[in-house]
Amino acid sequence: MLNLNKVMIIGNLTRDPEMRYTPNGAAVTSFGVATNRRWTGQDGNATDEVEFHDVTAWGKLAEIATQVLRKGAPAFVEGRLRTHSWEGQDGVKRFKTEIVAENLIALSGKPGGSSDYAPSSQSPVDEPVQENPVDEISKPAKESKVQGSKSPKEDTPDEEEEINIEDIPF
């Protein structure tokens, strides 16, 4: 039997990430993300709907999320759903469903500068942050071109790179 528990959302952080450590020393960060949906009803009126998602990141991903993400910042979160249950002080059983992040990408803001979020020049914005990074974060920035050296691609100006539909991750 096949199973799949995968969530992908893009939204804005509703609060700054809060990092803490478990008794055995594991880093864990919690934050919220809001996603919006707009549709036009049969009456022709536009309707907005907001969903609020609780997100938890563990380990190195938790530490990096705390450094990179801020309240109001747009972000892509990929992970899985996990539901907790507990009994409250009033004896009522409660449930909470959250996203356990496996991959995060801090997005730089909306086109046209309409976002209130302005990333600092020191934060690794637009870089994927993965739960089990494989030298993704430690890769050097793209090197600038040295004058006088051309790659074969530069010899053919105005030629666009072909995009293969199978290379698109979704």
Break the chain into its structural domains and give their ranges: 7-139
Residue 161 has pLDDT above 90, yes or no: no
CA distance 36 to 126: 21
pLDDT the model gives residue 62: 96
Instruction: Write the pLDDT tens digit of every residue in 28-87.
Output: 999 999 999 998 988 999 999 999 999 999 999 999 999 999 999 999 999 999 998 999
CB 57 within 8 A of CB 45: no
Higher pLDDT, 111 or 166: 166
pLDDT category of residue 165 using cuts at 50, 70 and 90: low
Please report which confidence band the pLDDT of residue 166 belongs to, taking 50, 70 and 90 as the band edges.
Answer: low
Say which DSSP state 162 is in: P
- Of the candidate CATH numbers 1.10.1200.10, 2.40.50.140, 3.40.50.720, 3.40.630.30, the domain formed by 7-139 belongs to 2.40.50.140
Residues near 166 by beta carbon (within 8 Å), at least 6 away in sequence: none
pTM of the model: 0.62
Whole-angstrom Cα distance, residue 165 to residue 170? 10
Provide the pLDDT for residue 168.
60
The CA-atom distances, in angstroms, between 101 and each of 23, 54, 55, 70 are 21, 10, 7, 16
Burial of 62 (0-12, 13-18, 19+ CB in 10 A): buried
Q: How many CB atoms lie within 10 A of CB 37?
A: 9
Q: Is the pLDDT of residue 151 over 60?
A: no
Per-residue pLDDT reduced to its tens digit, 109-120:
444 333 444 444
Q: Give the confidence band of 164 by pLDDT, cuts at 50, 70, 90.
A: low
pLDDT for residue 163: 60
Which residue(s) pair with 83 in the sheet?
A: 97
